[in-house]
Every structure is written in C-alpha cells, then in structure tokens.
Amino acid sequence: MTAIAVTLAGSDSGGGAGIQADLKTFSALGVYGASVVTALTAQNTRGVQAIHEVPAEFVTRQIESVFSDLTIGAVKIGMLSRPEVILAVADGLARHATGIPVVLDPVMIATSGDRLIADEAVAVLRERLLPQVDLVTPNLPEAAVLLGDDSEEDGAVLAQRLVALGARAVLVKGGHGTGPESVDFLATAEGLERRLAAPRVETRNTHGTGCTLSAAIAALLARGLPLPEAVAAAKDYLTAAILAADELTIGNGHGPVHHFHAWWGERG
C-alpha cells in the first residue's frame, strides 16, 4: 500500500518552508503527500512580507476532503496562527485521526525572525492541541513560549517539562544552541529519553529546517517506523540536506536546505 502523509500548514511562496518544504520532504522519503493549507504567506528568503489567513471553516473543509478519501498514514501540523484555526484542526483530528501518528511543529517564528502566531493562539495550542498529538517538535525558543516563560534551561529539561505538561512525546531541537554540535533531545511520557547529536553546519541556508525535520518524522512514521527510529532517521536526513544546502543558489537571504540532495547530486 502507498504510504500517505498529510501536512496541515502554511504556504511559503518562496518554496523553502511550510507546505512546500513538507511536500518536498515527503516525496524525497518515498511518501505521497497531501495538504491542508492553514495560511498563505508572501515570503521569500529575506523574510515574511504578508500573511493572509485562511478561514477556519475552509480549513475544516480541506480536512474533510482529504480524510474522507485518502488513507492517511501520518499527519504533520505546522503553522496555525489563530485560535479558531487551531480549534478547527483539533476538532478535525478528533474526528479523523484516531490511531494515526500526529507530529506537531509549533511554528511561531520564521528563520528571518518574523512572528507567525498570534499571542492569544499560544494558550489554545498548548491546552487544546498539545495533548492530542503524538510528538511535538519545538526549538529552544518555542519550547520556552509553550511553557509560558523565558526559560534558559537546556533542551533535555525543556523536553521533560513539556511531557509533564501533557505532551506524549517531545523533541526539543538544538539548532538555536551553540557549540560544535546541534543536539536534539527526545523525551516521552513512557520515560524514554534520547540525545541526538549532529555536527553544526556553517551555512546561512537554513530556511525551513524545522518544517523539514517534522515532515521527515511524519513521513517515516507513515512508512511504519517506530517513533525513536523515525526521529533518528529524520535527523540524519535533515543533516544531509543542510550539508548539501550550499549546492543551491536560491535567493539573497536564508536559502532553503537541499531536500533532494540524494537525487540531484551536483546539479543543484
């Protein structure tokens, strides 16, 4: 049977993050990708110029269309900028995603520094959606926002605190950290704790890294991998995509990672 994953996320007109990055990642990892667009952004490698909100009712219609026809193997959730959209997604998952792995990437700030979520939406995300998903993948600043403080604690502690808050599993990403390694921390409600390290790559082409990692995890879950193995393999995929990012010449700001590094070779 064909493995299928769906991404519920915002559209990036520059192609490096959001829906576009997710669909590229799904394809690169051998998974058919469907999509539910939650917001439209006018965006490029230099930043986000404008955001056009998709009505919550239309988000619901997209969810109904996808799940009523396709056999979904995993769900990835990205940019949800308003409370009503978060509630529409939460209700849709409750109707259709029982027993399906769900990965939530709590997109709050773009690589450029632009804010992508309303302040009032954070509490709804934390209280309504967080308990419904199988894995949440915040970076260090996003983890602190979800916890409602400006914590300077390391990723392992933040992951454990989010599990205590009600998350089933948490992967705190270390890309915003310092040092020669980028270290992610995985913690689950069952007591699993794992440290995943990779060399920190010096490149400005890091647009869409968070979207790509969470989409890769979802794709691998759709293919049947257990969560710890899916997280580890997804990190390997992202690391390779970052290492190959400078083969691409895209835009004049933070360019994308190379989603198809294994396919394009030196032709990028």
Question: Whole-model pTM?
Answer: 0.94
- DSSP class of 246: G
Q: Could you report the per-residue pLDDT of 188-245, keeping only the tens digit for each? A: 999 999 999 888 888 889 999 999 999 999 999 999 999 999 999 999 999 999 999 9
- Among residues 14, 18, 155, 208, the one annotated as catalytic is 208
Contact 186, 193 (CB under 8 A): yes
For helices 83-96 and 56-67, angle between their N-to-C axes, nearest 10 degrees? 20
Active-site residue 212, yes or no? no
- The answer to whether the Cα torsion of 24, 28, 29, 30 is positive or negative is positive
From 66-75, 153-162, 171-180, the region with the lowest mean pLDDT: 171-180
Q: Which parts of 48-193 fold into alpha helices (H)?
A: 56-67, 83-96, 119-124, 140-147, 155-165
Active-site residue 235, yes or no? no
Mean pLDDT of the region 96-124: 81
- The Cα–Cα gap between 159 and 163 comes to 6
Active-site residue 239, yes or no? no
Mean pLDDT of the region 115-123: 76
- Domain ranges for the chain: 4-267
Chain-wide mean pLDDT for the chain? 91
- The Cα–Cα gap between 211 and 245 comes to 15
Active-site residue 98, yes or no? no
Active-site residue 177, yes or no? no
**What CATH code would you report for 4-267?**
3.40.1190.20
Mean pLDDT of the region 19-41: 98
Q: Answer whether residue 54 shows pLDDT above 80.
A: yes
Q: Answer whether residue 12 shows pLDDT above 90.
A: yes
Measuring CA to CA, which residue among 211, 199, 198, 197 is closest to residue 254?
211
